[in-house]
């Protein structure tokens, strides 16, 4: 029994209010798709939203996010080398203001995705051991869990095009990291034959998605993911506020829904992995 996501434009007032709080705390113009699945369990969404916001708004948490963002960019670019096709594309457009501006936005986006990796690794650790208790839950067995995993559109979580195409620049959260990896150019914008400024971002996202899918088949890709996940894990003890979401709390808040065990599976298995891959893709997009 799969989870039907609850989108912010159709959500009832209480869910929509929590969605808005999360977007504001993440400094995101769009709601990351993960939360639309948690929104199917409004009591748990409300419970965890308050805890997440307390961390996201703390300066110490933001500093942790900044450090992991920088390290993710470094590790990805040291080990995953872009194809000649992408390198030629970058060489063609790198000196244009259009390239600079969307790279500046990508720096803000990696901070959002780092925060999501923090959130879902922390939630996984908070519900650790659920598999032992899950045998007591009605209807949970390997086949159903595997089916839920297959039902998810994994690329929707990893690439999430809505985030890239609707996110506005936010100088407050990206200043420190942007000054070290992106340099402004005063050269003219790229224009086509009619003199219209070319939007480079959709094409750049598309060619990188093709490249990144190939990177995901390499052993080094998974080595980097494990290393970054260890770094995130080591940062959990430095969170300014505890994220408390043990299995018994989740069950108490969600057991009225027949598919509550699917949420436990997503929080324990899918979301942590997908959020790490999402962080790696946003790191891959940034050109040092």
pLDDT digits (tens, 9 = 90+) for 215-252: 999 999 999 999 999 999 999 999 999 999 999 999 99
How distant, in Å, are the alpha carbons of 15, 119, 265, 272 from that of 43?
Answer: 9, 18, 17, 21
CA-nearest of 39, 26, 109 to 73 is 109
List pLDDT tens digits, range 163-198.
Answer: 887 654 343 444 444 433 333 333 333 444 333 345
88 lies in some domain = no
Q: Is residue 4 part of a domain?
A: no
* 281 is a domain residue: yes
Which tens digits make up the pLDDT trace of 104-133? 889 999 999 999 999 999 999 998 755 444
**Contact between residue 284 and residue 76 where contact means Cβ atoms under 8 Å apart:** yes
For the chain, report the end-to-end CA distance as a whole number of angstroms.
Answer: 44
For residue 230, the enclosing domain spans 13-82+111-169+219-285
**Res. 279 pLDDT band, cuts 50 70 90:** very high
Residue 56 belongs to a domain: yes
* In the chain, % of residues over pLDDT 70: 80
Has residue 248 been placed in a domain? yes
What's the predicted TM-score (pTM) here?
0.84
Number of structural domains in the chain:
1
Q: Is residue 144 part of a domain?
A: yes
Structure tokens of 105? 């936005």
């Amino acid at each position: 029994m799969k989870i039907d996501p609850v989108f912010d434009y159709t959500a009832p007032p209480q869910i929509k209010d929590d969605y808005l709080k999360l977007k504001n705390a993440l400094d995101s113009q769009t709601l990351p798709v993960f939360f639309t699945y948690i929104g199917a369990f409004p009591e748990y969404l409300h419970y965890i939203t308050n805890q997440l916001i307390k961390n996201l708004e703390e300066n110490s948490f933001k500093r942790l996010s900044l450090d992991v963002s920088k390290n993710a960019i470094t590790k990805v670019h040291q080990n995953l080398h872009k194809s000649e096709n992408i390198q030629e594309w970058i060489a063609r457009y790198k000196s244009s203001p259009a390239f600079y501006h969307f790279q500046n936005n990508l720096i803000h986006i990696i901070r959002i995705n780092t925060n999501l990796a923090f959130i879902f690794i922390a939630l996984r650790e908070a519900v650790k051991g659920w598999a032992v208790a899950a045998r007591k839950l009605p209807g949970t067995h390997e086949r159903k869990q595997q089916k839920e995993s297959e039902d998810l559109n994994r690329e929707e979580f990893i690439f999430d095009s809505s985030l890239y195409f609707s996110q506005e620049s936010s100088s407050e959260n990206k200043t420190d990291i942007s000054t070290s990896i992106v340099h402004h150019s005063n050269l003219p914008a790229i224009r086509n034959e009619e003199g219209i400024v070319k939007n480079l971002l959709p094409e750049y996202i598309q060619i990188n998605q093709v490249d990144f899918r190939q990177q995901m088949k390499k052993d080094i890709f998974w080595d980097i993911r494990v290393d970054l996940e260890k770094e995130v894990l080591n940062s959990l003890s430095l969170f300014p506020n505890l994220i408390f979401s043990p299995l018994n709390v989740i069950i108490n808040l969600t057991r009225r829904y027949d598919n509550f065990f699917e949420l436990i599976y997503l929080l324990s298995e899918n979301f942590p992995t997908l959020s790490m891959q999402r962080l790696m893709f946003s790191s891959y997009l940034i050109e040092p």
